[in-house]
Amino acid sequence: MSGFPDHEVITALVSGRYADPFSLLGMHITGEGLVVRALLPDASAVALIDKKNGRKITELTCEDARGLFMAQLGRRKKPFTYQLAVTWHEHTHIIEDPYRFGPLLQDIDSWLLAEGTHLRPYERLGAHPDELDGVAGMRFAVWAPNAQRVSVVGEFNYWDGRRHPMRQRRENGIWELFLPAVTLGQLYKYEIIDCHGQTRLKADPYAFEAQMRPETASLTRGLPPIVEPDAARSAANTFNQPISIYEVHLGSWRRHADNNFWLSYLELAEQLVGYVKYMGFTHIELLPINEHPFDGSWGYQPLGIYAPTRRFGTPEDFRVLIDAAHRAGINVLLDWVPGHFPGDEFGLAKFDGTSLYEYADPREGLHQDWNTLIYNYGRNEVRNFLAGNALFWLERYGIDGLRVDAVASMIYRDYSRPAGEWVPNHYGGNENLEAIAFLRYTNHNLGTQRDGAITVAEESTSFSGVTAPPENGGLGFHYKWNMGWMNDTLKYMQLDPVHRKYHHHQMTFSMVYAYSENFVLPLSHDEVVHGKHSILNRMPGDMWQKFANVRAYYGFMWGHPGKKLLFMGNEFAQLREWNHDFSLDWHLLDDPDGMHSGVQRLVRDLNQCYRTHAPLYEVDYRYNGFEWLVADDSENSVFAFLRRDASGGEMIVVSNFTPVPRPGYRIGIPSPGRWREALNTDSHYYNGGNLGNSGELHSEHIPSHHREHSLLLTVPPLATIFLVREN
């Protein structure tokens, strides 16, 4: 190449539209010797310095008033390490030239990223502190294959896209650049001239920290250190352990009373973790904490999926919260949203002018319900981006599992779409085969890379094999929310007790399919918003009956096979619906003898009872762990069933969903024995009527319910009792 580029090339370069800046800037070998070129807008003078000895070699001449400087070194043929002494406004600075550094991305990473099998793409893409040739700085890499030019812009270069255009790796569409002297905590974005020639300013998809809304820049941040797996936490996730999950929206669990402002991650580390520990829950599940632009999405429309939201503090502060939970013996699950993302201009939408992360056809790529975009799961780089993110949270923050949101919307192409507004797969069916393959791939990778971590599917259909292994044709999740149980039982509980006998099956039907998947029983945030009312206010009757219904229902839930999940506020029967803009109504607990305090005490004791008695959890997913004792007494709305553990221990759960006491109620049992009432939701301690079975109960050799032995019980009104076998 000649030492002097032509006018058109210079114009393209200084206007920020030259796609291959490394071919022109930096040091190059020519037939006339070495040539050094630098684009330094607004500089008044530039000198070339030999870095080895610090001596000035020559002055660069200004070849274009817009900032192109050049020097021809006719006597030098061999490249050497140099610096530039640049004078701006009468002040001279010694700088490193970004364009003297070679390619950054290694061949193996380039191959794996293009193939879609890079397990940790976040280690290569995004912004990372690094040191090259003894020079400290930040390396940047972003995927934008159809862009005409990409520049790093930030507070370190006056947000000027002309100053730091990136190198394009044509083999995979990744743009890269090492910027000396850029430090941690600085704001940046990518300025992209897209395939249509339009300039777009985009946040980094792989940013580890981002500004809080309404600002949208990314922040340079080091990759969090790896958190090694912990055997005790892994064991707490397994099928044969008690799992009781407290679902939390960090922005509204509790707020400062004086200004309604959020608690910080550090305050939550003390207050939230202490409360969950006190209440006896085994797991905390956090609604999405990824950076998101709109508070009202509750985090379910994320854009910075690698960045903990700045609403509550820094990434280091978030790590303190997770560590505090772990020290308290509590596992942490994150809601994870690979199902959709918002179309904000600074985000992923039309990233390089094309539908890069999303499907191009709106019949595939637009969620009509939420007006959000759908990831193109068939694209290798998108699979890297999402699957890598799942591992990122587990490996880099020590998260113990992911609850995956809206799985049904991912795996069905006709989800919430009328006929003619969706695109069949290549077999003509309605399954999204790319999304199914992505979920299997992600779950498989997590299983091999992070042993002991779990994934939980919010999947609302009868799709088969959600919790079956991928190698057996399943999706590979460990657990699935039992949406059928939740819908059926809540519909039953909302009925006036006089009508419940006509809907008896809604409380028993779940056992027909209970062993088809590994289920979690959820009473989640979705059940206390959008006009559905709180759990308490969905119950019929006067206020006493409402509370009694809630207590009886919770007892039934904790006795039923399946792990448990309860959304915050439900544990003390909050009166109003959840509002993400305000704290929970903690004042309802000011009266320690009040009804709300009674429900809170009950939930605490249910958790304690659940964790203490293995029959309630140990063989949740095996047929021999459950047996109906009374399933057909619709007239009295009474249900009774037996729970067993692996060693033969037994517990009986009896529920009466009418306000009528049932004294002298006989229940057939499989074998004779002595039983003790371990928990009674009608206890005075929970503000109930205190009717029950004090002391021991002995079976009688009196046939009942097709069994030779039976127990004679007092079943309180609107109550559930637990009986534990003593011998």
User: Does the annotation mark 228 as catalytic?
Assistant: no
Q: What are phi and psi of 338, to 5 degrees?
A: -90, 10
Inter-axis angle of helices 380-397 and 107-115, nearest 10: 110
The helix/strand/coil state of 525 is helix
Say if residues 637 and 497 touch (Cβ distance below 8 Å). Answer: yes
> Is residue 699 exposed (0-12), middle (13-18) or buried (19+ Cβ within 10 Å)?
buried
Nearest to 225 by CA among 477, 442, 395: 395
In the sheet with 135-143, reading across from the earlier edge strand, the strands are: 126-132, 135-143, 174-180, 167-169
Are 291 and 307 in contact by the 8 Å Cβ rule? The answer is yes
Would you tell me how many other CB atoms lie within 10 Å of the CB of residue 197? 10
| Token pair listed for 646 | 């692996």
The closest alpha carbon to 341, from 307, 309, 305, belongs to 305
How far from 718 is each of 227, 540, 656, 707, 721, CA to CA, in Å? 47, 11, 5, 26, 10
Tokens describing residue 188: 């940046």
Q: Which helix (H) or strand (E) holds 480?
A: strand 479-481
Q: Is the dihedral of CA 272, 274, 280, 285 positive or negative?
A: positive
Tell me the C-alpha to C-alpha distance, in Å, between residue 423 and each of 2, 66, 190, 359, 695: 54, 51, 33, 11, 64
Helices and strands in the chain: count of H runs, count of E runs: 13, 35
| Amino acid (one-letter) located at 159 | W
Please identify which of the residues 458, 488, 527, 605 carries the catalytic annotation.
458
Where does 554-598 show beta strands of DSSP type E?
Answer: 563-567
Q: 516 with 466: CB under 8 angstroms?
A: no
Which residues partner with 142 through β-bridges?
175
One of 247, 405, 434, 682 is an active-site residue; which one? 405
- Go through 290-319 and write b for each residue having 16 or more CB atoms within 10 A of its CB, e for each that does not: bbbbeeebbbbbbbbbbbbbbbbbbbebbb
Q: Is 291 a catalytic residue?
A: no
Sign of the CA dihedral running 63, 69, 72, 78: negative
Contact by Cβ (8 Å): 456, 564: no
Measured distance CA(655)–CA(665) in Å, rounded: 12
Rounded Cα distance, 152 and 159, in Å: 8
For the chain, give the number of residues: 727
Active site members? 405, 458
